[in-house]
Amino acid sequence: MQTRYFHGDKKHSPYFEGWYLKHQIEEKTIAFIPAVHADKNGKWSASLQVLLSDGKNDGAWYLPWPTKECKVERNKFRVQLGENIFSEKGISIDIENEKLSVHGKVAYSGFQKIRGDIMGFFRFLPLMQCSHGVISMCHSLKGNLKINGEIIKFTGGKGYIETDWGRSFPRDYLWTQCWFGDKNSIMVSAADVPIMRKSFRGCICAIHYNRKEYRLGTYYGARIPVYGDGRIALKEGRKLLKVTRLDEHPFKLRAPALGSMERMIKESPICRVRYEFWVGKKKLIDIISGQASYEQVL
């Protein structure tokens, strides 16, 4: 369970902490990424990224934000940048500039949280380059956003929230997230994990399927027998997961490198991905979703 929602109040620079909030209904997806970051000189800054795919206003926007207008709660999920609020109750958005116009409110309900911490015992390692948290695997949406003059109704859609904190994003990594069926969801991530002068590729995965949670992770003994451009497989005991990206529609985002948002990466907020999951000889999941999100840096 996520018990601490801001980790940076006693951290030294360089440092970053960000939250990823995804909202989707049918083929329309919008994600907000509020973040705070301190460069290697200890200078703090804040930002908000918006990632949109709705067939008309597709794109990604990076908005620097004054730190004096930034407020982050430590023991509950609530981040505020100016008039923009992100919390467990929902979001309230008020963005108006020459680049982008987004206004409205979307309420959340029915959070699906994971058991324990997605990082396992790795959360206790003090020298982790980047840590990860899952706040909600799936929740219901109610409300509308007016985006560049057009109203998108998110009522009946689904949401997902995660968070990252540390010094830098990994050198290479893969991340994908998807909902399927009524309340089924999956999140998979693998990354290069530097420890002292060495590194290894670690993985974390949570699957909610038919009201049951399945977990795979390096801390459980999971291996990565397949890893390449657009594909990954995780094997742990009797469990086997295969992920195959079938297409991509990437947009450029900024990512932290030693606390500074200078690194450019790409993410497809909505694309086709196949997920296959076995427990023993029984294949529980075999879906091709056109509403998956996928990000990979090699």
What's the rounded Cα separation, in Å, for the pair 235 and 244? 15
Task: Name residue 189's beta-bridge partners.
Answer: 175, 204
Write down the pTM of the prediction.
Answer: 0.96
Give me the mean pLDDT over the 43-47 stretch. Answer: 95
What's the pLDDT score for residue 9? Answer: 75
What's the rounded Cα separation, in Å, for the pair 293 and 291? 7
Cβ distance 192 to 171 under 8 Å?
yes
The pLDDT tens digits of the residues spanning 106-155 come to 999 999 999 999 998 877 776 789 999 999 999 999 999 999 999 999 99
Cβ distance 28 to 158 under 8 Å?
no
The pLDDT tens digits of the residues spanning 64-101 come to 999 999 999 988 999 999 999 999 999 999 999 998 99
Residue 98 makes CB contacts below 8 A (sequence gap 6+) with none
What's the pLDDT score for residue 121? Answer: 80
Q: Name the residue with tokens 């450019």.
A: 264
Q: What is the full DSSP assignment across 164-176?
A: EEESS--SSEEEE
Q: Where are the domains of the chain?
A: 15-297
Give the pLDDT band (50/70/90) at residue 198: confident
What's the rounded Cα separation, in Å, for the pair 8 and 165? 8
What's the pLDDT score for residue 2? Answer: 44
Using DSSP bridges, classify how beta strands 158-166 and 173-180 pair: parallel, antiparallel or unpaired.
unpaired
Give me the mean pLDDT over the 20-31 stretch. Answer: 96
Q: What is the full DSSP assignment across 87-109?
A: ETTEEEEEEESSS-EEEEEEEEE
Task: Name residue 48's beta-bridge partners.
Answer: 34, 63
The pLDDT tens digits of the residues spanning 224-243 come to 999 999 999 999 999 999 99
